[in-house]
Amino acid sequence: MEAASITETASAPPPARKVGDVLNAYALPLLLFGALLAQFIYEPTGTLENVKTGLSNGMVWALIALGYTLVYGIVELINFAHGEVFMIGAFVALSLWQTFGVTESTGLALIVVSIIAFLVASMGASATLNVLIERAAYRPLRNAPKLAPLITAIGMSFILQNVGLLWRPTPDQVPDLIGSHSVYFTIFKVDVLHSDVFAVVVTVPLLIGLLWFVGSTKYGKAMRATAQDPDAARLMGIDVDRTISLTFLLGGLMAGAAGLIYALYNLTVRFNMGFTAGLIAFTAAVMGGIGNLKGAVIGGLIIGVIQAVSDGGNFLGLPLGEAWTPAVVFAILILVMVFRPQGLFGEETREG
Amino acid sequence: MRFLASLRSGRDTVTGMIPGWVLAVVLIVFAVIFPYLVGSGSFLDASTQTLAYVIMALGLNIVVGFAGLLDLGYVAFYAIGAFVIGWFGSQQFPDVNGGKGIHILASDRATFQPKLSGGRLDIAGIHINFFIVLFIAMAITALWGVLLGAPTLRLRGDYLAIVTLAFGEIVPRVFENSTSGLFGIGSTDFSHGRQGITPIDKINLPWSHDLLYSDANLKPAYWVALGMVFFTIFVNRRLRDSRLGRAWIAVREDEVAAASMGINLVRTKLWAYAIGAAFGGFAGVFLGTYNNTVNVDQFEFGFSVFILAMVIVGGMGNIWGVIVGAVALSMMNRYGLPQLNSLSEPLGFDVTSISFGIFGFFLLIMMVLRPEGLIPSGRRRLELREAEIEGSEDTGAVGDMSQMYEVRQ
Amino acid sequence: MSDQQQSGGAAVASSPPVGETLMEVTGVSKVFGGLVAVNDVNFIVPRKAIVSLIGPNGAGKTTFFNCLTGLYRPTTGRVNFDGTDITAKRPDIVTQAGIARTFQNIKLFRTMTATENVEVGMHPRLRSRVTGMILRTPFVRREEKAARERAREILSSVGLKRMDELAMNLPYGDQRRLEIARALASEPKLLLLDEPTAGMNPQESEELRTLMERLRTEQDISILLIEHDMKVVMNVSDHITVLDHGEKIAEGSPQEVRQNPRVIEAYLGSQA
């Protein structure tokens, strides 16, 4: 549990426990899984299809969620602008393809090279942006009441969204470089598309790399130490400012990658895509227990599946559908925050 | 220090030199004769909308400024209030009363349509007089304020903000999707989906069938809104200087101490949510009829932030500061940017499209440079400034805070 | 009521204080995770008495206070106050029942004036309702006026003169005084003071001592005191309870406690 921190209501009592105890570490995941199982019996192929879509979509949420969870873990700030950092990543990738004239008809080798190169570029752009945001908007407020940086973050998010709007006023098509909607293979009657494979192939190494970095390098140790107790970390000779910058950098890297994957996966980008994506990913981070990296990944996958199932329409007789999906995700966000604020999987050390 | 004392003692005169009541009278007179000064054009139109935003900013100020609960979903109450007038002042439910509709002190010319033959009241749908709907909507939104506020009571500041944001997103989605019953129950169309409900009944006095205003003469609409603003200010001031207002500030400053002084935290916070929400609904009813449409596109997260920006820019907790903030931002949005646009448009640049980015910029600048707002309340400034100096003074001050209030509220 | 006093009360007590019981604490423990902060403490506060709770740092005194006032829920045990069971009741209900407290690390409403702080303390004794507040009915008007006057009376009774000063601008001693005034405003039957003389000079401590005596004799208030200043404790207390490592190790009159070998050991041990 984080120490009571720097808000005006510094000594605010902690969130509810009672119902949280009832919905203990296993109850909520089991409930979700049970519902999914019931839906599977009710409609097997459709459900499997949704789970597949959800998992590959969830990869993107997981990458974004990592940015929230890293930053919250270390400075206890909901980085509202993170969704926009993701959007900028997608925009950068698209602009590069447009600039270099890469299209579906470009040769395979060039496409592969462009994807790798621009993945690095969009990751770099998002990371730089994220670090700059921290410098300009959050660092001056490091010791202000907690709500001040949150409001600043909201302001930042709006600014970036409008930058996106000026950059691309209308939704833009992304060249279908990977043949997104073509079937790669079929398993249990479920078509696995190129886009699904692409999302997994790009995301998994990044996730492993990040977990390794935070878990095993000295920079990761500095991050974890700073997350636990910035003052103590400073006394131990850790450069807290640099560590915080590094955290934003890592979050930005992941968001940039997510932007590129999202662009190729959905083949369309829009200036306000970051807002919803950001909230979905934030829900994932909270589900996994904010500050908990593995939790954020699992939370992202769970949210992906929930979203896909809800998009699928009829859920156990409930007339859901795409129009309801945001409400479903937000309802889950509320449920988790109110009843299980430490996340589905109980408490773990931050940055763990 | 004397200056601060004058701010604190409830007489928020700008200079402390002019007696408060003189300033108040001058402002009131100016506000009332204002339409004669500017004529019935787009400036008055913008001013009328601004008055509605002032009401909402004052309502949100109760929650954020007084009680210290950051609410990012205030748009939900605007939506609920607007839908209440949408339901009770339009032809949305054509089948009620066998298609003859229900009319309570409504005008037969409710929607600017040509007068019906002989002034018969047989337009389908529910038509209740605007002034009655105002108070119905206040009651309904207050109730929803309590219902949506209750789950957030024990959350920390930033979590509370996110949960309110989520509610603010859910409420419009529910309206939007309730075109054929609610969650598949029944088949009533509550919202017309994305098209929204339009037209909405215009305002008429309960004893008259004449509409109060027309497109050619917006002055009476302005005065109705102004009257609503006065009512809101009156209630805000009374509450601020009351037992409840003191309790709100006490809760904002230190929940543990407040509870130990016998303040019921749950009740105190729920009152803030209820009253704050009620003013959101109050203004929502007016905007619904004034804009002649109730449409889910109006109820975006950006709107919540827009109102929050008014509260923050003006100075959280200070009634006059919030009014100034609301007037400034709203007039900029409704009038200033469109004016500026006529300059920038030839250059191929649409300033109005980035209005939210501009508000975002204001929020950011205010927080970094002047977190207490333009006209802060004395105490709020001290709190914000002090926290900067003291840093994390409170961190872990009391042994194990996670054990505090481990029990329920 | 008196039955309970007989049965549960004097478990360890060597000389139970005379007088009718105001508060009776039976077997209260508080466990944090694996740490036992308060262990099975029995405790009685008689009416019109000044009772002290002493012990080395970290002995669990403040935790015990928090268990009494509803900030913590005791892991086990019962708290009976003035005939009602207040175990694990919410802090505001405890205060309404007649227990008021101050805090070791001063918790004033820093940006309110001294008078306003005291008015907040009166909260549970005021009867205004929301509609009344908005309409400012004659009743509310009278009540607000009376509250203001009463607040000033209380402030002058604790010797605080700068009544319109912001709490945060008051000197330390005055802040302590203001906390007491704020607590008194709820018209308590029992006042819990958590290290009220910390940071006070000897003269201020002496003034506080006489204030406590006066509250007891003039307003029939019982006082439960956590205090490190032994001079104050020994002079003012009718009865002293000593906690160490969460357990009650001794109790009795100041004289008895002073000579108790376990107490001496606990204190010397903690000094070393």
Interface of B with C in 239-298 (CB under 8 A): 239, 242-247, 249-250, 253-254, 256-265, 271, 275
Domain boundaries, chain C: 2-27+39-271
- The token pair that represents A48 in the structure block: 């499997």
Q: Which of A57-66, A316-325, B118-127, B180-189 shows the highest mean pLDDT?
A: A57-66
Q: How far is B164 from chain A (nearest CA, A)?
A: 9
Residue in B174, B251, B392 closest to A6 by CB:
B392
Place of tokens 């995700």: A329
CB-CB: which of B68, B155, B157 is closest to A337?
A: B155
Cis bond before residue A149 (omega within 30° of 0): no
| Alpha-carbon dihedral sign for residues B261, B264, B265, B270 | negative
Most confident of A3-7, A136-140, B37-41, C154-158: C154-158
Strands (E), chain A: 172-173, 183-187, 190-193, 268-269, 314-315, 318-319
* Residues in CB range of B292: below 8 A, 6 or more apart: B198, B199, B200
Residue B274 structure tokens:
């209820």
Q: Are B354 and A169 in contact (CB < 8 Å)? A: no
Question: Exposed e or buried b for every residue in A140-175, given b needs 16+ CB within 10 A?
Answer: bbbebbbbbbbbbbbbbbbbbbbbbbeebeeebebb
Q: How confident is the model at residue B121 (pLDDT cuts 50, 70, 90)?
A: low
Nearest Cβ partner for C105 among B245, B250, B397: B397
Cα(C40)–Cα(C28) distance, rounded to whole angstroms? 5
Q: Cβ atoms within 10 A of the Cβ of A105, count?
A: 7
Q: What gap in Å lies between CA A349 and CA A289, rounded to an integer?
A: 10
CB spacing of C96 vs B262 below 8 angstroms: yes
pLDDT at A306 over 90: no
- Nearest CA to C90 among C111, C107, C73? C73
The per-residue pLDDT for B378 is 56
What are the phi and psi torsion angles at C201 (to 5°)? -80, 165
| Mean pLDDT in residue range B22-45 | 88
Contacts of B47 (CB under 8 A, 6+ apart): B34, B38, B222, B331
Sort out which chain A residues have CB atoms less than 8 A from B398's CB and list them: 4, 11
Q: Which residues of B touch C103 (CB under 8 A)?
A: 257, 260
Domains and CATH numbers, chain A: 18-339 (1.10.3470)
Indicate if the pLDDT at residue B125 is higher than 70: yes
What CA–CA distances, in Å, run from B139 to B175, B255, B316?
19, 28, 25
Query: Chain C: residue nearest B274 by CA?
Result: C130
The per-residue pLDDT for range B43-64, each reduced to its tens digit, is: 899 999 999 999 999 999 999 9
Hey, how many other C-beta atoms are within 10 angstroms of the C-beta on C254?
Answer: 17
SS3 annotation, C29-85: EEEECCEEEEEEEEEEEECCCEEEEECCCCCCHHHHHHHHHCCCCCCEEEEEECCEE
If one compares C108 and B385, the residue with the highest pLDDT of the two is C108
- pLDDT-derived band at B405 (thresholds 50, 70, 90) equals very low
pLDDT reported for residue B396? 29
Give dist(CA A56, CA B166) in Å, integer.
25
Residue B180: its pLDDT value, please?
76
Task: Quote the pLDDT of residue B366.
Answer: 80
Q: How do the residues of chain C divide into helix, strand and coil, expressed in percent and rounded to 5? A: 45, 25, 35
Model pLDDT for residues B233-269, shown as the tens digit of each residue: 999 999 998 999 999 999 998 889 999 999 999 999 9
pLDDT score of B381: 53
B267-326 pLDDT, tens per residue? 999 999 999 999 999 999 999 999 988 988 889 888 998 899 888 888 888 888 899 989
- Interface contact B158, partner A, CB < 8 A: yes
CA distance B307 to B396: 34
DSSP B33-94: HHHHHH-SSHHHHHHHHHHHHHHHHHHHHIIIIIS----S-THHHHHHHHHHHHHHBSSS-T
Domain C2-27+39-271 carries which CATH code?
Answer: 3.40.50.300
B232, B249, B260, B269: best to mutate for the C interface, most C CBs within 10 A: B260
If you average pLDDT over residues C219-225, what whole number do you get? 91
Q: How far apart (Å, rounded) are the C-alpha atoms in residues A63 and A58?
A: 9
pLDDT in tens, C50-105: 999 998 888 888 898 899 898 888 999 999 998 889 888 899 999 999 999 999 88
Cross-chain residue pair B360–A149, CB shorter than 8 Å: no
Amino acid residing at A22: V
Please give, rounded to a whole number of angstroms, the shortest distance from the CA of C138 to a CA of chain B. Answer: 13
Between CA A74 and CA A230 the distance in angstroms is 8
Pairing of strands A183-187, C76-81: unpaired
C-alpha A325/C-alpha A330 separation (Å) is 8
Most confident option among B271-280, B293-302, B355-364, C154-163: B271-280
Q: Average pLDDT over chain B, rounded to whole?
A: 80
Residue partners of B229: CB distance under 8 A and separation at least 6: B51, B54, B55, B58
